[in-house]
Amino acid sequence: MVLKRPPEAGEILQGTLDMLILRTLVMGPAHGHTITQVIEHTSENALEVEQGSLYPALHRLEDRGWLASEWGVSENNRKAKFYRLTPKGRRELAAATGRWRKMTRAIDLILGAETEKPEVLP
Amino acid sequence: MVLKRPPEAGEILQGTLDMLILRTLVMGPAHGHTITQVIEHTSENALEVEQGSLYPALHRLEDRGWLASEWGVSENNRKAKFYRLTPKGRRELAAATGRWRKMTRAIDLILGAETEKPEVLP
DNA sequence: GAATCTTCCCTAGCGATCATAGGCATAAAT
DNA sequence: ATTTATGCCTATGATCGCTAGGGAAGATTC
């Protein structure tokens, strides 16, 4: 993400998009448009997925063997590429989730977690 | 970070280093070497801060007016540059922390938080 | 049935961040 | 006197997400 200074609401934490896509596909195969909507909706619109981020990510994940794709027809009767998790992808999701939890725990330790939060905005 | 595939333990989540540095300096001015150690220790060695990441970050933060620095003498009697938070830096830390909490909350929503965790590694 | 809107896919180029891999200087320790 | 530890620095490369484009085809509207 570009991380304008300061980052706008809706931007995605660098390195998490892949994990979010993988997680979304646990619920079943889906095409790009749906994946975007699921992520945005499930996050209660805290996250936004830009197309220019999504499609390269999907290709990247497929290149790594974490997703497989096939063309089909969408709910709206349009041509769409459906992605599904591969077993490798499922393992990667587990690993990524583990890393995520470890990292956030570590960072929250430094931030002071619930106990000692730094000043509130004036 | 290079994010080898898969990322090694100890790597820092993209975009969080600045926040961690700012947070560390809430406790008082410090020089680079100390900042590194505080972050590593406070995170219970879950995080590692490379020098090649640290110093550019410090310069970046100073350029943005979030830190100020002056040369001094370290605890080990060596020349060291001490950094301290500016008021702007304190405000930025508050903002960054808010963004962090919002993001992690959103991502945890998608991951399923405590309830529904995806498979464990085989 | 023509024009417009919506859905769905894609790419090139850019900016930001962090890791690697070096280098340099001086105080302390051996 | 050499080695070790402390402390600062930069250039380069990789990755990732955003911006800003483009295109095709079904659905809708007039």
Q: Which of B34, B23, B15, B13 is nearest to B92 (CA)?
A: B23
Q: Taking phi first (over 0 means left), then psi (-120 to 50 degrees means alpha), and beta for anything else, what does residue B45 get? A: left
- Per residue of chain A (122 residues), give pLDDT as tens: 333 334 454 578 888 999 999 999 999 999 999 999 999 999 999 999 999 999 999 999 999 999 999 999 999 999 999 999 999 999 999 999 999 999 999 999 999 844 444 444 33
CA atoms within 13 A on the CB side of A84: 7
Residues 22-51 of B with CB under 8 A from A: 23-24, 26, 39, 42-44, 46-47
Report CA(A50)–C1'(D19) in Å, whole number: 10
- Assess A113–B contact: CB distance below 8 Å, yes or no: no
The model's pTM: 0.87
